[in-house]
Amino acid sequence: MNILVVEDEAKVAAFVKQGLEESGYTVQVAFDGNMGLRLAASNKFDVIMMDVIMPGINGFEVLKKLRNELRIETPVLMLSALDQSSDIIEGLDLGADDYLTKPFKFGELLARLRALSRRKKSEITIPENIIRVSGVQMNLDSKEVQRSGKIISLTAKEFTLLEFFLKNKGRVMSRVQILENVWDINYDAGTNVVDVYVNYLRNKIDKNYDTKLIQTVVGMGYVLKEI
């Protein structure tokens, strides 16, 4: 983890830097707010640790510039002797992710850093829940379906049927399999609900395209062809 420490007191900065490096972190130190801004703008850090009271431009002003002007969203941990609730609230409202008052135990500082690291990773690594097959894109979270970039409006049952076809692309699915998986009912020789909904789906997915994805396999069922 690469950490920027913005701290004007040389002894405190040296203590924090040594402790973090001994714990396996990479550390750069800025001794005032302006230097901290320059380093933050020109380097990629995983966490920025910053004092509040500094000469020239204080930590709150630096934080405002990071968030509002530079649009830097790197997690920020404020370190400060200012321990009033109003100071802590101000720091958090300005965009700080955590606030630790001085003096602090180094073990608590490391725990706060680990928590910020876990939070950042969870925010970054959540993937979109999307299925893509042959120009069709289905977002399982937003329930949006597109083909070749054009949004297609589906009913809830049409969406579920298409999801079943997409997840089983290239496999011939019988009417029995479709009924059991999409409608969750046993086969009824008298129902044509599968054929009706496949036709609905074709009119929306295939009608205006030369390549037809949903195809009939005579005597066996339906298949969504991957092209």
DSSP codes joined into one string, 47-78 = EEEEES--SSS-HHHHHHIIIIIS-----EEE
Which are the contacts of 195, defined by CB distance < 8 A and separation ≥ 6?
Answer: 175
Question: Which residues of the chain are in CATH 3.40.50.2300 domains?
Answer: 2-125
Question: Which residues of the chain are in CATH 1.10.10.10 domains?
Answer: 130-224
Q: Would you give per-residue pLDDT tens digits along the chain (227 residues)? A: 899 999 999 999 999 999 999 999 999 999 999 999 999 999 989 999 999 999 889 999 999 999 998 888 899 999 888 877 888 888 888 889 899 888 888 999 999 888 887 776 555 444 568 999 988 999 998 899 999 889 999 999 999 999 999 999 999 999 989 988 898 766 565 678 999 999 999 999 998 888 999 999 999 999 999 87
Q: Which fold has domain 130-224?
A: Arc Repressor Mutant, subunit A (1.10.10)
Look up residue 61 and give its amino acid. Answer: E
Check: CB of residue 57 under 8 Å from CB of residue 35: no
pTM metric for this prediction: 0.53
Task: Work out the number of other CB atoms within 10 angstroms of the CB of residue 154.
Answer: 19
Q: Which fold has domain 2-125?
A: Rossmann fold (3.40.50)
Half-sphere exposure of 93 (CA within 13 A, CB side): 6
